[in-house]
Amino acid sequence: MHHRFKASALALWLAWLPAGPVLAQDGSMQPAPASAGTIEEAASLQTALTAYLTGVPFEKKLLRIEPDPHGHRIVLDPAAVLSDLAGTPVSFAPLSLVVSERDDGTWNVFTRDPVVVSGAFDVEGQTQRFEYSQGSQLFKGVYSPALATFLSAEAQVGTTTNRSNDAVSDSVATIGATRLTVAATPAADGGADVAFTQVYDAVSQTTTVRFPVEEGAPPSSFGFEMGAKGVETRGSLKAARTRPILDLYALVLSNAADLERDAKGTLAGPFGMALKDRLRSVLPLWSSLDGTASARDVKVASLYGEFGIGEASQTVHLSGIAADASFDMDVALRGLAVTTPMMPAWGASLTPDLVELGVAVSGVDLATPLEMALEKADFASDPPLTPQVQADVQAAFAPERIRVRIKPSRIRSRDLDVAFSGEVSLASGLPVSTMAIDVGGLDTAIATLQGAAASDPNLHQAVGMLQFAKGLSRPKDGGRLEWVVVSAGDGSVAINGTMLKGPDEPPALETPDGETPGDEMPAVEVPADEL
């Protein structure tokens, strides 16, 4: 049997576990059928893993591998190591993976061990305690060493609870049953197309903070609660360089001892050149990364009141490290509600109940400067790049190509609706921007503030500013008002074609002797006998 199981399977599993959770318990989920492992095969698998983890985890008995009726069992037992590092007992229930090689060289991976860890630490004379526990956990997947990722995986975790307390605070966070799925397929150039989903049924956190008080005085404390339902994350990576990233990790780990002993000497040798090659191999990281996150019924409550969001969502798109890299993000908060005795009566009609914001950045050359930095870097020097190379790298970003666009966005309250979009460009070498703003309900908002100003004179200034802005507007359909704000490269600012600020004064030029052209020159006296 060819033991090609890579440590990234273990690393991915361990990285996922503390983040918590996924699906409801399903007792029918079992390890994939496989032949029982042998002691010799377990030793061979340990040798393969040592290339990625070094022998230290096995020597410290942090990890062990033993035969299992369904293949082999990789056991993580960190309690002793963590207790030694912390200088105090740490309880950490052992976690195990059951793995078996498939006919096509991929590996079955299975675990049903929940994470249960607790400990107490003394910090500056104060005891801090924590407990983290998963009610149950199941994970089952097929791992590909060639791609260094799971081809398929699903996981389930019951209710997860995280408790912590110290002398002044107590906190309890709970994550309800959640679900995780992962799927990957080979992509071009040895990369992988990876998609994942993770759904939490509900999350909540309650925190109490106690204030120190004098002896005999009544206790003083306050608390706040946060929670959300239907928290969901989805993502996809196209042509992700998963295997080169694993190879880079393995290279650095295999030289960790030499780096600790003599960093400059190690970097100046073959490792430095190999490091550059491995860094180049992981580029462009991926061709695209897309992700979405959303949550329902988000609430934050404290003694100051309650803040709620009916639905919150975010979408992100990232290109890889490319000569024309881009970034795109949209954020939406719908059904916002604020309940607090601190809000004045007029504030309710102007508090947003909808926020939609979007931004897009394009034309960023990340590939050229990064390649230049890798080519010129001397890792044995401090800093690795000379001042001239740093300047060249900065110039290679080509800021004149960068375009920042504010996508159509909106902030709406009961009485006021503000929509805006715009663009910033550096094509001329100086920032030039155009922003279009249109508003509905401005007269209603002004009237609301004017009425409130009778009892709160401080609002007169806000009323005056809104009236001044209204004077610069132009009408649009539906009774809305519009402002088009143009900021030119010369520093001038115009609103709806009216110059609000003129161009900046050009900087004064100095002559070699320090005088400014145009200054009066001193009179030259001519002897009378020369007239």
* Res 312 pLDDT > 80: yes
* Res 464 pLDDT > 70: yes
**Model confidence over 188-224: pLDDT tens digits?**
778 999 999 999 999 999 999 988 767 666 667 889 9
Calpha distance 93→91 (Å, rounded): 7
Calpha distance 248→279 (Å, rounded): 7
pLDDT band at 481 (very low <50, low <70, confident <90, very high): very high
* Res 20 pLDDT > 70: no
Tell me the CA distances in angstroms from 315 to 20, 202, 236, 400, one per residue in order. 22, 20, 12, 27
CB of 402 closer than 8 Å to CB of 360 = no
Residues 6+ away with beta carbon under 8 Å from 391: none
Scanning the structure block, which residue is given the tokens 């430095």?
A: 272
**Model confidence over 223-234: pLDDT tens digits?**
999 999 999 999
Tell me the CA distances in angstroms from 89 to 82, 114, 167, one per residue in order. 8, 20, 20
Whose CA is closest to 391, among 415, 373, 410, 409? 373
Tell me the mean pLDDT in the region 319-334. 97
Average pLDDT, the chain: 88
**Model confidence over 350-377: pLDDT tens digits?**
999 999 999 999 999 999 999 999 999 9
What is the pTM for the complete model shown? 0.83
* Res 147 pLDDT > 90: yes
Write down the pLDDT at residue 236: 97
Write down the pLDDT at residue 529: 45
Cis, bond preceding 399 (omega within 30 deg of 0): no
Write down the pLDDT at residue 24: 36
129 alpha-carbon distance from chain centroid: 28
Write down the pLDDT at residue 310: 97
User: How many other β-carbons are positioned within 10 Å of the β-carbon of residue 504?
Assistant: 11
Write down the pLDDT at residue 122: 86
Count of CA atoms in the C-beta half-sphere (13 A) of 187: 21
